[in-house]
Amino acid sequence: MKFLHLVWKSLMRSKRRTFLILCTLILSVFLITILQSLLATLDAVSNKPTEGNRFVVRHKSGLTQFLPISYGEYLRQQPEVLAVANSQWFGGYYQDPKNFFANFANDETTMFQVFSDRISGLTEAEIKEYQRDRKGCIVGQILADKYGWKVGDTIPLTGTIFPMSPQLTIRGIFKGRMASEENTLYFHYKLLEEGVQFMKGKTGAFWIKTKTSDDIPRVANRIDTHFANSPVETMSEAENAFYLTFVKMLGNIGAIIHGVTIAVLIAITIVTVGTMSMAIKERTTEIAVLRAMGFSRARVLFLLMAEGLLLVTLGGALGIGLASLVAKILREILGSALIFLQDFRLANETILLCMGMALIIGFISTIIPALAATRRSIVEGLRAL
C-alpha cells in the first residue's frame, strides 16, 4: 500500500492517454458484460424450470397458425393426461402502446391445474370468482404493482393482433416463480372466441400436463401420429423446447454473441498492449533512476504491473457498473415488449468472468513491456535520456 501513491502518480502522468484507454476499457467490459448476460438470460428462458410433466401441442407449420379446439377432446382422452388447457397470445396493451405486457386468453376451467407452479397465491374464492365472471381476469403481482391495480379494477385492453378491445375486471392477483410470470395477464378464452369471429373453434396451442415426465415422449408421439396427414398437423414438444423456439427466432444468437465477445477481447488486448508499451517505454530513464536509487528489478516490475492492473480494475469495475445500470433500464423499458428481458440481470458468474478477463488483459498487456524495461541495464536506461 505504501507504493499506491507512486503507482497512481505514474498512471496519471499522461491524463489524456489514461482517460482514453480507461474509456475504451469501460466500453469494452460493458459490451461484453451486457452480451454475456443476454446470452445467460436466453439460456435461462430455454432451460426454464418446470414441473417436468408439461408439454405443448401447436401447429406443425409454426406459432402463427391455429389448431382446432376440437383436438382437445382427443388430448383429454389419453390415459396419461391429467389436464389440458388451450391458450392464445392476445398481444394487447393497456391505455398506451408503450404499456405492453404479456396477456393470454386461456381456458379458465383447467389453467390452474396445468399451470399450478406458475400461478399461486390465489384463494379458492378468487379462483371461483374469476371463473364465474366472463369478463374477469387475473394479473401477476409485479404487473399489479407497476400500474397500481387492485382486485375489482377495470382494465381496458386494446388488441393489436385481434380486432377486439375487452374491458376486463381483475378478480385476483397471483404470484409466480419468476418476474416474467408475474408480468402476465390471463383472461377467458371464451371471451376471445366471442369477440373475434375467425377464432371461433380455434386456438394457438394446447398445454398438457401428464402424470409423470416419463409419459411425455410417449403421449407426444401418439398425438402427432394421430394427426399426421390431417388438414392441420400438430407438433408436440416439451415446454423447454417450446421456449427455445422463440429464442431460435433470433437466429444463432449464441454464436453471434461469442463472436462479438472474442472480437472485442482481441481489439481491447491490442489497444491495451500498445498503450502500456508506449507508457513504459517513455519512462525508460525513470525506471533506470529508480534502480540506481536501490529499487530491485522485482520491485520495479511490481510497480509497473500494479499500474497496469489498477488501470484495468478501474475500467472493469466502471464497465460492470454501467452494464448493471443499463440492464435495469432495459428491464424496465423493454421488459413488457420482450418477455425474456423481464429476467435480465447480471449474474455473479458473468461479473466474475468479465473482471477476470479484464485482469488477464491487464496482466498480458503489462508483463511483456515491464519485463523488457526491468531487464535493461541501468547504464543503458540512463543513456536513453
Set of cell numbers at residue 183: 408480468
- 50-59, 61-70, 348-357: least confidently modelled range: 50-59
Q: Could you read off the pLDDT of 273-328 as tens digits, one per residue? A: 777 777 777 676 676 777 777 777 777 777 778 777 888 888 889 989 898 888 88
Nearest to 20 by CA among 274, 366, 306: 274
Residue 172 to residues 128, 167, 203, 216, Cα–Cα distance (Å):
10, 15, 24, 31
In whole angstroms, what is the distance from residue 135 CA to residue 201 CA? 19
In whole angstroms, what is the distance from residue 210 CA to residue 218 CA? 11
Cβ proximity of 281 and 375 under 8 Å: no
The residue ranges of every structural domain in the chain are 4-46+251-383, 66-231
**H-assigned helices in the chain:** 4-11, 15-46, 71-76, 111-114, 124-132, 141-147, 189-195, 215-226, 239-248, 253-281, 284-292, 297-333, 348-375, 378-383
pTM assigned to the model: 0.62
Q: Could you read off the pLDDT of 93-121 as tens digits, one per residue? A: 998 888 888 899 999 999 999 998 888 89
CB-CB neighbours of 269 under 10 Å:
17
CA 54 to chain centre: 23
Cβ proximity of 236 and 55 under 8 Å: yes
In whole angstroms, what is the distance from residue 109 CA to residue 107 CA? 6
